[in-house]
Amino acid sequence: MKFYVASGVPNAERVNQAAQVLSARGHERTYDWTKHGDVSAETPERKREVARMEAQAVLDAELVVLLLPGRFGTHAELGIAIASCVNKRILLWSESSAPFDGEQGFCVFYHHPAVERFTGLFESFLSYLSTL
């Protein structure tokens, strides 16, 4: 299965941990944005290239994993995943339920029917990913 892991740049280590778990199960990562990280200071051409590659990676993925907290890019990727959710699984993890309950960082699309929400320790979520 092809997968993509989205999150904010500060969560790059966790993104790679999740990707390692899925790769160990034989799944294929569609794009590793952590290799370049933040491109906000790059040229407009580079920003367009990264935006195109990340969007295509989400479209190509059969599984999209989103780790909160995320910023604008993470939410754009969530939107792309939802818009292309036929034959696609979308998993959304947060350490606390605050973003889902509307207490902190709420987004209505966290509650889209195609999104599976997970709350709890990151290690527990990694254990879950190891079953996929």
Q: SS3 breakdown of the chain: % helix, strand, coil, rounded to 5?
A: 50, 15, 35
Q: What is the mean pLDDT of residues 110-125?
A: 98
Is residue 79 within 8 A of residue 54, CB to CB? The reply is: no
Residues 91, 18: Cα–Cα separation, whole Å: 12
Is residue 102 very low, low, confident or very high in pLDDT (cuts 50, 70, 90)?
confident
1-42 pLDDT per residue, tens: 999 999 999 999 999 999 999 999 999 999 999 999 999 999
66-91 pLDDT tens trace: 999 999 999 999 999 999 998 899 99
Separation of alpha carbons 34 and 82, rounded Å:
22
Tell me which amino acid residue 131 is.
T
Give CA separation, 121 vs 19, 24, 94, in Å: 17, 20, 8
Rounded to the nearest 5°, which phi and psi values hold at 106? -65, 140
DSSP conformation class of 88? -
Q: Calculate the CA 73 to chain-centre distance.
A: 10
pLDDT at 113: 96
User: For position 104, what pLDDT does the model report?
Assistant: 84
